[in-house]
Amino acid sequence: MLTLPTAHCALCMTTVEQGLAQLPGVHDARVNLTLKRVAVAADPDVTAETLIAALGRLGYEAHELDAGTLRATQTDKMGRELLMRLGVAGFAMMNIMLLSVAVWSGAEDATRIMFEWISAAIALPTVIFSGQPFFRNAVGALRAGRLGMDVPISLAILLATAMSLYETAEGGGHTYFDAAVSLTFFLLAGRYLDYRTRAVARSAAEELAALEVPRATRVVDGVETVVAIADLRPGDLVRVRPGGRMPVDGVVVEGTSELDRSLLTGESLPVWAGPAAEVSAGEVNLTGPLLVRVTAAGRDSSLHRMADLVAVAESAKNRYTTLADRAARIYAPGVHILAFSTFLFWLWFSRGDLHLALNIGVAVLIITCPCALGLAVPAVVTAASGRLFRQGLLIKEGSALERLAEVDTVVFDKTGTLTMGAPEAVDLAAQSPADVALAAGLAAASSHPLARALAAAAAAAGIAAAAVDAVHEVPGYGVEGLWQGRRVRLGRAPWVGTEPIDRTASYLEAGDGAAPRAFAFADHLRPGAEAAIAALKAQGKTVHLISGDSAGVVAELATRLGIADWMAGALPAEKAARIAALSTGGHRVLMVGDGLNDTAALTAAHVSISPASALDAARVASDMVLLGSDLTPIGEAARIARLATRRIKENFAVSALYNLIAVPLAMMGIATPLMAALAMSASSITVSLNALRLR
């Protein structure tokens, strides 16, 4: 894995991938443009130095990715640099415009010359300083023998400045310092908007890797030793104490406990673990110590495999390119050919008048400068993002709106996404107050989610907990104690001697010879869940429900929401596989999920959304984040996405129409460089105003 700090467009992505693929021993190269990294699959003898040297020849700075570089790439250095240069260009542009007003108003002779030299004194250092992002990329591209969008941009800025300096020195009266600085300002604005849409994203694979336990307690002949995970082998025994995260995949050989595996399976409730039970890395041991025999550790663990799934899906998603990036592949060389051809024609037609030919050539170069093209997408994304943000939805990735507009299938996770993810006791009124008080007395001694929910519900109902003696928790089973001389229990159905009901429940054995009582629990729907699903269906989208929970619970929720296609007991890989199958079938999938178990599916989907309450890994893997608990904005986002895509296409039409009208005028010598700069600015303003209609 290498970092590419200067890569910024689809043309960069294509150049890097194709250039590396031509190296001997390199099998595949995939650029993650959002994270500015390239993952290379190559033979062992292909070193990082070889790849870095090859990227250098292509015109790209590259570094080997290590922990220090990783932290460095997460800083906002590039954003601060762009913003600083943008501010300088904007300040200089305003001052030069003020000076230009005096010239346009009829200032003559010494007064006009003075204003032009003052403009030159402001413009020259501004162009040198603020144009650095374009100049660096252009030089790198030319050294590698290729043309990119920054080459015509740099030429237009430099030629406009050079021509203006020449005219000022000769007293010709045709200066374009305002054009040069305006070009720089507008193009920096577009570059900064594009940067901000990309910079928010971080790798979900990194979040997953952060959950991997670096060390474990190995047990050999009864002696415990703390060792690195890399030193463990299948068959080793490890001790996992309560509260600790499972360091390996394995099988329990001693002890009983309950495990929180919501990170891996989406199960909302802890599950029992005892001898012969299988455990996975990343699960949290809740109540009792366990001795586990290792079956897989380190890179072979289920947690690491999930991280690999996320990394692969991330790279695949980021191969998507915007309309502007695709147009740039043809546009960049076309600008040079057109401007140079115009220059040669007028040099021939004017019988060697270099001044005239250069003026017309510069006008063509400026008028075809891709400022409106560069703003077409970021301006719309910014306007749409602001509107959706006010409605409670944050857009993290620049192309997310375009991809959301293409969606025809929506997949929801259940726990924590469609529901609040917190169990609540229901139908307490159907139980006798004495049973509720006894259950609350037992529940008060446990930190189990169901026990806490039961104790809270009893308190809310005004029922005081019974005083139960000798209360203690039996890991993996429940709580028991003595009440009025009888043994009483609250916990799992088999433990209290009854059959489980077809819903989430905890069972009370009161020791009175009567059948155990079942206390049922429900997880409430998120606000707006029904409205969001109804809105998506009204737009003609197919809705699916995929969850790691039990079939009965998932089926009940699917029926309530009117979702015909649902899947229960799904593991992370199965969720991602289901998304992949839908995608392979020609569907464009929106995935909505909140758990670590959803990250692979979120990144594999065409576009993804997570609620703000989701785990960090799910939020950073998604393209959009719901800021509140209400799901209603999802339906609105799908509608706005289609509208935003329409605005983007309109902006491209405006840019094309502008070029069809303005370019021939410039080529005929009718438009001066200053007129070209004004026309270019007008097209940029038109594009921006059209984007603001979304607000």
Reported as a single tens digit per residue, the pLDDT across 638-647 is 999 888 888 8
Backbone angles phi, psi at 129, to 5 degrees: -80, -55
Fold of 213-300: 2.70.150
* CA 307 – CA 241 distance, rounded (Å): 25
Measure the CA angle with vertex 178, ends 172 and 180; round to 5°: 95
Q: Express each pLDDT in 353-410 by its tens digit.
A: 877 887 788 778 777 766 666 666 766 776 777 778 778 787 777 678 788 999 999 9
* CA 288 – CA 274 distance, rounded (Å): 10
* CA 611 – CA 527 distance, rounded (Å): 12
* CA 30 – CA 47 distance, rounded (Å): 17
Domain boundaries, the chain: 2-75, 77-199, 213-300, 320-392+637-695, 394-420+525-636, 429-522
Query: For the chain, give me the number of helices (H) and strands (E)?
Result: 25, 26
- Enter the CATH code of domain 2-75: 3.30.70.100
Q: Is the dihedral of CA 247, 251, 255, 260 positive or negative?
A: positive
Residue 616 above 90 pLDDT?
A: no
Q: Which residues are catalytic?
A: 413
Mean pLDDT of the chain: 80
Q: Which amino acid is at 611?
A: P
Q: What is the pLDDT of residue 185?
A: 85
Mean pLDDT of 150-157: 76
* CA 98 – CA 142 distance, rounded (Å): 36
* CA 285 – CA 260 distance, rounded (Å): 7
Ramachandran sector of residue 342 (left: φ over 0; alpha: ψ -120 to 50; beta: rest)? alpha
CA 483 to each of CA 365, 451, 464, 467, 529: distance values in angstroms, whole numbers, following the listed order: 90, 18, 15, 7, 43
Q: Which H or E run includes 55?
A: helix 48-57
Q: Please give the model's pTM, rounded to 2 decimal places.
A: 0.55
pLDDT-above-70 percentage for the chain? 81
**Of the candidate ranges 78-92, 335-349, 616-630, the one whose mean pLDDT is the lowest:** 616-630
Mean pLDDT of 540-545: 94
* 609 burial level (CB within 10 Å; 0-12, 13-18, 19+): buried
**Of the candidate ranges 29-38, 44-53, 223-232, the one whose mean pLDDT is the lowest:** 29-38
Does domain 429-522 bear CATH number 3.10.105.10?
no
Show the tokens assigned to 286: 């809740």
Q: What is the pLDDT of residue 345?
A: 92
C-alpha count within 13 angstroms, C-beta hemisphere, residue 600: 25
Under the banding of pLDDT at 50, 70 and 90, the label for residue 7 is: confident
Mean pLDDT of 488-505: 86
- Tell me the CATH architecture of domain 394-420+525-636: 3-Layer(aba) Sandwich (3.40)
Residues 6+ apart with CB under 8 A from 10: 33, 321, 322, 325, 326, 328, 329
Q: What is the pLDDT of residue 71?
A: 41
Under the banding of pLDDT at 50, 70 and 90, the label for residue 435 is: very high
